[in-house]
Amino acid sequence: MNHWLLQVAVIFLLTSFSSAKVVSGDQNPTPKVNYAKVQFEAKNAAGIAVPVSLIIKATKTKVSQNKSLRTGSLVLPLLVGDTYEIEATLDGYVPARKTIRLVANGRSAQAVQLVVLEMKPLQVPITIYILDDQTGKPIAGGFAVRMENLDRTQSVVNRQVAEATIRLLVQPHVAIKGMIKAKGYHAQAYAFANPEAGNEITLRLQRIDPTQYGIRMMDSDYRYVSSQCTVLIQDELGEMVPASYDKLSGDWRVLLQKDLTYSIEVKAPGYRTHRRTIAPPAQSVIMVLMQQDLTPTAKNEPVARTKPEPVIVAPPTAAKPPLSAPPAGAGESKGLGKIADKVSSFGRQLERLDSSAMESKMDRTVNLDNVYFDQSSPDIRPDSHAQLDELAEWLKGQPEFKVEIAGHTDRLGDPRLNVFLSENRAKAILNYLVKKGVPRKRMRYMGYGFSRPVAPSDVEENQKKNRRVEVRVIK
């Protein structure tokens, strides 16, 4: 009996103890810890991953972690419910800082949150002094500045500055190169192989003489457009370039620098406004093709054009002897009678230009009728030398005269190519005369193409008349 009672008591005690343990467990459960996966990435301004040193500080727990992003990316588990201060450092870059707070959002534990740190290059000041190469003094005026890193980690800089002392911010220890442009000077390149704070460089810009160009406005048929044009030219530094109309050539004269680009706007009655960017070409003529305005308001308006003026060569004056006559018997012995006659006739034409009473520009023009070129070429043939030599001697004897050498072509072929061919032929004659002792400053050359015919372009004989080179006294 006593043994039975003892068993009942033991069972009762065990049951009571177990119930108490369960109740105690329900009242004080073990807290559950949640973590989130965070992926850290560090990139430069070009979006390329860079290796950085990472410091992660937890605000609540005060725990700090030092990590290294050798590949530019790292995934870490961080405690949810805390705020983290992140700092990325790398030599040559400004430290990147970011603060994040991780909150429970019901997403899967496998989800990864992305944190991107943008690394901006550390910049140091460098100074560029711009001086005139001749005077050694600072250049007054505006400058166009271009700069770029050789490793392309920094954006290209293009800007205008007004002072001759230029200060730039660059990434240290990263090679840079650039270009300085100033109106009236050759562009000058510069470079810093290993830029550091306080680096200085002095650039001495060389002056350049602008080149004179003719801007020729023509319609779709390559006829001259009216001189009643408005021509606006602006260089890349924002300054206006003056242009003046030349009545003798029908072109607009302008001085341009070969290392600059220009924007041009041309307006003419009855034509659409022409706008474009130009770079000075190798030839001295810039062609501008104007399109006729066919809008209702302009359809019935007359289109003003400059009619090409025919150049008339007056017959030789028999009363005056030629400046130079061919050697006696030369025509008969060598069969060059016709050429000898031309040389003699040409001498008499030159004599007409001596008279100050000849004020008409037509009367002050002579045709080089014994000058020949290879087909579609500016190369002067040897049988042209006699007449060119005679012209050189006459010019050296008239030091007060300034002349224009004008090339002309027929209508056949590409009109633009004809303009350039006629100009190159006129230039070739000018160069020949310079070699013979005529000062270059007393001459200019022009190419008119087919814009100034002297005969209809219908038969070969008339086309030959249009293919010519003329010398005109302009002053």
- For the stretch 309-332, pLDDT in tens is 433 333 333 333 333 333 333 333
| Structural contact between residues 201 and 166, judged by C-beta atoms closer than 8 angstroms | no
In this prediction, residue 363 has a pLDDT band, given cuts at 50, 70 and 90, of low
> How high is the pLDDT of residue 318?
37
Between 100 and 161, where is the model more confident? 100
Distances (CA, A) of 302 to 107, 142, 173, 268: 78, 44, 67, 12
> How high is the pLDDT of residue 295?
75
> How high is the pLDDT of residue 417?
83
Q: What is the CA radius of gyration of the chain?
A: 43
Region of poorest pLDDT, from 112-116, 332-336, 433-437 = 332-336
Sign (positive or negative) of CA dihedral 348, 353, 355, 361: positive
Distances (CA, A) of 263 to 6, 57, 213, 319, 350: 115, 58, 15, 55, 43
Highest mean pLDDT among 161-170, 171-180, 388-397: 388-397
The CATH superfamily of 124-205 is Carboxypeptidase-like, regulatory domain (2.60.40.1120)
> How high is the pLDDT of residue 326?
35
* Span 255-283, average pLDDT: 88
Between 22 and 391, where is the model more confident? 391
Region of poorest pLDDT, from 176-185, 276-285, 397-406 = 176-185
Confidence check: pLDDT of 303 > 60: no
Distances (CA, A) of 403 to 71, 248, 432: 74, 11, 14
| Structural contact between residues 401 and 353, judged by C-beta atoms closer than 8 angstroms | yes
Number of H helices, E strands in the chain: 7, 28
- CATH assignment, 35-121: 2.60.40.1120
CATH value of 211-299 in 2.60.40.10, 3.40.640.10, 2.60.40.60, 3.40.630.10: 2.60.40.10
The CATH superfamily of 330-473 is OmpA-like domain (3.30.1330.60)
Tokens of 425: 């032929």
Mean of per-residue pLDDT scores for the chain: 77
Domain boundaries for CATH 2.60.40.10 within the chain: 211-299
